[in-house]
Chains A and B, each alone.
Chain A
Amino acid sequence: MDVSLIIKATLVLSGMGLVLGALLAVASNFFAVEIDPRVERILEVLPGLNCGACGYAGCEGAAEGIAKEEAPITACTAGGHEVTEQVAVILGKEVEAKGVPPKAQARCGGGRGKVALRYIYDGEVSCHMAQQVACGPLLCPYGCLGFGDCVEVCPLGAITIGEDHLPRIDWERCRGCGLCVETCLRNIIALVPETSQVDVFCSSPEKGKAVRSVCEVGCIACKSCEKVCEFDAIKVENNLAVIDYDKCTGCGKCVEKCPTKCLVAYPKKDTKS
């Protein structure tokens, strides 16, 4: 065994390592990019979901945008109020009055078995695909298709599709970013205040007869909720009951009265089906 060869090899490799290391060290100094230190600190407080609800490609872009004041400090909807507060501290700004973070609510109660079907859809599991085939398998053109496009888009995994083909939104996880609202092609999902206690689980603006002919649990605009409400919190507009969440106390009288049971009261912060 030639000892000098071993020594030579060791020297060459360590010499190369040394030269390349020195080169990298010089390069990183020479080509150093001045990064706004606030960007990194903002990035730390952002949730890091890269959901894109703010309009930037990811949290990194958002942090940069916020630091450059291209985006408001409230840009991160998924992070909610806590993140806004922390970002405000970093940038030395005042936070405006605290808003309650909204929660997503899927306003349709017409699960399988309750809504009439036009045909059985057996294709790609996607609402957008199903809609292409004769406007979807439901006879109700406003009802939830239940193929889970909202599930796909939710960065927090808060939405699941139940056995009745309706989305269930876990309010513990939902941060009200609104991606599902944009995605839902039937505009069923809405953002509601977290404090809301009663909701209308129907999105059909059709007249009562038309709704009843296709769905057991649709809002038929009978106005009995409007009459029974003592707080003037529920109104029928455009053939659909609309709740004023500021006025609603959650007494539940309208829920009892509702003939089709499309009004549902739910315990606070509970997932509702």
Chain B
Amino acid sequence: MGRYFLLFLAAFLINNILLIRFIALCPFFGVSSKVETSIGMSMAVIFVMAMATMVCWLVWNFLLIPLKLGEFLYIPAFILIIAALVQFVEIVIRKVSPALFRAMGIYLPLITTNCAVLAAATESVKPGFFKLNIQYGYAIPEALVYTLGVAVGFTLAIVMFAAIRERMEVAPIPGPLKGYPSAFIMAGLASLAFMGFAGLFGL
């Protein structure tokens, strides 16, 4: 249990996907102008990431590794899976829950090409891929916990960032810094703050 908690924490805070690793910057700046839209995007990301990782983990362990194709084919294969999966989810949601479709509908196609989802899927089969190459594979519950950590970390960062940006809208900022410039500065400062988590519990 403690291992899962640490795994979650590592993905959630210490290696926060947006603020520490700077993956998925497009939604981080694109849909963070309002808290409402950022929450919608985050919910879609949590949902898609968990599903995509599960499918990618299965494909990796039962298709790519037995055929010895994993080392070079994982990126195109995962992109294919994620894109098809998002489309599939969109079709199903539209039928099953029109209300959910209306709330999440615009964000789902955006996620098709989201690097955060690919990063989470890659890391769940190749742990520590973006930092150090550990020869270790997650079992499926570990992969799920890890992915949820990444997705919730995404939610935390983007919602927090959107809240700050909403306040910045009405703040007296020098003209040239209004909008994106100040958002980038803020992202840097938030990133610095998150670096403070490094070393927590020896992670």
Contact = CB atoms under 8 A, between A and B. Distances in A.
Interface stretch (B77-85, B110-118, B160-168): B77-85
A113 B172 CA distance: 27
B83 to A, nearest CB: 8
B94 interface: yes
Nearest to B169: A124
A48 interface: no
A22 to B, nearest CB: 10
B63 A12 contact: yes
Contacts of B87: 24
Contacts of A28: 91
Given A12-B73, A12-B77, A16-B77, A24 B95 contact: no
Interface string A23-39: 11001100111000000
Given A8-B67, A12-B67, A23-B84, A31 B92 contact: yes
Size category of the A interface is 10 to 19
A98 to B, nearest CB: 35
Contact of A124 (B64, B72, B170): B170
Given A13-B76, A33-B95, A124-B170, A27 B88 contact: yes
Interface residues of B, number: 23
B189 interface: no
A12 to B, nearest CB: 6
B192 interface: no
A31 B80 CA distance: 21
Interface string B59-77: 1000110011100110011
Given A16-B81, A33-B95, 10 more contacts: A5-B68, A8-B69, A9-B69, A13-B76, A13-B80, A16-B59, A20-B81, A28-B91, A32-B95, A124-B172
